[in-house]
Structure 1
């Protein structure tokens, strides 16, 4: 059935200039709110950060409504930057989830009004358990602020919403305050890039900082090798079989004396022409580039890039061959 266009609700269209002006006003209001918050920080912030650093349990971040969404993000940021934390929904807390909290925990309760019923219901029990309480509100005189061990003031002069109703500048300021706490704790702990990577093993940074050459190199039968006395034909067969575009050349003691690559073959053909009677020694490259198995894969990539190579041998500290690494292996492992 074809709809009657005349009965369809009118869809507003955005005027480009008006939309941009509105966006700029919103960003300006929120930027001002954060700037004012930065100027207002005092010893309460320092005390809150120290409380998190001293916490022997977990940091439990709670809120409801828009504050709940902000609380969830703050908990995630804390957890990923070295401060064990989780989010507890305030409404679920009054129906059993309060059992997640122990006396060793620190609770961060977030409510801009400072009067969220669900939070005020659980605060007495949190205090009885012996857990410490940090509140983040926009009203220092509110009940939640007064009940907390430490109160952080996230007050804003106005919301970005033209009606001054929808939580916008206030939620942005609260989120920024949570980020500030997380970063202060991160820096105090000396939490570095490798620590961050361990919290994000599935991300690009985790792969770059946690993947070592030994994790992605080819080893054993997968590494193409031929003796120094092998014919060019035998070398080409090994190159084709192993798919690395090269073969390692070994002496009688199975020590590396060079590599023979597709490029070496082309150069040998240009120089000699008829290669049928030659051994691989006639065209191999001496002193191939190598790296250790414990180096980061990104270090191998940098070495390849610096020397315009697409492969490296992998050798242990004694110089023995233990593997080989091609640029394609790094790409497959999503290190690059």
Structure 2
């Protein structure tokens, strides 16, 4: 019995979403442009279950480059109206479109000159009629055994909010690199970090020696900068690299005579590098592929800007 009820609810909600997808049109496109062109913030407001959905939609907007937050309509009419200012776009959410606390806000929103977008299940409701734009969904059955608790309607509202946020992202050309700026913490933030974000070292901390530097002096540079390597400045602005492993192999072949060799003669002339605007996870992939622990970082002009070490990636909890 319970399994049958659960399956019925899921089918009812799935059908509601299918109808919603089939009926999106020019009104939706106009709302997308309106949100994308908002000079202020996008304000989500609704009460009860609709209010909970509003919070999620606002959070999705905020995390994808559109400043947004939730305002409780009852709190708004009791002192929080100052949270809404000229230039904001207000999205009012109400299945009935007649929620008293929300309807009471209409006069203030209109007087302020803010754009009002309605999301409702009733296209002839007060909220829809007074909105500048109206997005409606059709729910013939909620799925609740008593026919009382909102289920399909809140699912449709949430999905409509996600669709709106995704379409705004497309219109703005929002990228994964921009997304990373809004998610600096946790596993997701770590995977979206840029290499430049790992360059916490001061510019003077970049290990670098000239091609004429004796290997004995290069060792001091490597020890001082603590990367287990140093870059070598070669002709025509090119870079070489000497690693701990290179030095061990030189000692195996030449013994103490290795200390008198010049950095330019013993360095690897074509070291692996990575652009500072690349994702940190790409740096990790390069290190794993070539079994190395450090990468020289360069800017768009090819200038040496720092070093990213495997330990830097470990600290992000990426691995």
CA contact (8 A) 1:44 1:151 kept: yes
Residue aligning to 1:12:
none
Q: 1:280 to 1:307 in 2, by over 3 A?
A: farther
CA contact (8 A) 1:114 1:142 kept: yes
Pairing 1:303-314 to 2, within 5 Å after superposition: 303-314=286-297
What are the Cα deviations for residues 115-159 of structure 1, in whole angstroms up to 9, with x where unaligned?
A: 211111111222222222211111223222222222211231222
Distance in 2, matches of 1:169 and 1:19, equals 18
CA contact (8 A) 1:228 1:250 kept: no
Deviation at 1:306, TM superposition (A): 3.9
CA contact (8 A) 2:184 2:190 kept: yes
Pair 1:37-2:17 in alignment: no
Pair 1:110-2:93 in alignment: yes
Residue aligning to 1:291:
273
CA contact (8 A) 1:219 1:324 kept: no
Distance in 2, matches of 1:102 and 1:257, equals 57
What are the Cα deviations for residues 249-293 of structure 1, in whole angstroms up to 9, with x where unaligned?
A: 789xxx976514236526853xx5x83554374995532515367
Q: What's the TM-score once normalised by structure 2's chain length?
A: 0.79
Distance in 1, matches of 2:27 and 2:6, equals 33
Deviation at 1:54, TM superposition (A): 3.7
Residue aligning to 1:275:
255
CA contact (8 A) 1:139 1:145 kept: yes
Residue aligning to 2:311:
328
Deviation at 1:326, TM superposition (A): 2.0
Deviation at 1:179, TM superposition (A): 1.4
Distance in 2, matches of 1:126 and 1:218, equals 50
Note the residue ranges of structure 1 that are not aligned, 5 or more in a row: 1-17
Once superposed, what is the RMSD of the aligned Cα atoms? 3.7
Moved more, 100-109 or 169-178: 100-109
Deviation at 1:209, TM superposition (A): 4.5
Local SS of the residue matching 1:96 = helix
Moved more, 155-164 or 168-177: 155-164
Q: Which has the larger radius of gyration?
A: 1
Local SS of the residue matching 2:78 = coil
* Count of residue pairs brought into register by the alignment: 311
Of 110, 114, 137, which residue of structure 2 is paired with 1:131?
114
Residue aligning to 1:10:
none
Q: What's the TM-score once normalised by structure 1's chain length?
A: 0.75
Of 30, 33, 43, which residue of structure 2 is paired with 1:60?
43
Deviation at 1:317, TM superposition (A): 9.0
Local SS of the residue matching 1:152 = strand
Moved more, 18-27 or 191-200: 18-27
Distance in 2, matches of 1:133 and 1:222, equals 54
Deviation at 1:95, TM superposition (A): 0.2
Pairing 1:196-211 to 2, within 5 Å after superposition: 196-202=179-185, 204-205=188-189, 208-211=192-195
Residue aligning to 1:76:
59
Local SS of the residue matching 1:134 = strand
Pairing 1:85-96 to 2, within 5 Å after superposition: 85-96=68-79
CA contact (8 A) 2:38 2:87 kept: yes
Residue aligning to 1:141:
124
Of 155, 178, 193, which residue of structure 1 is paired with 2:138?
155
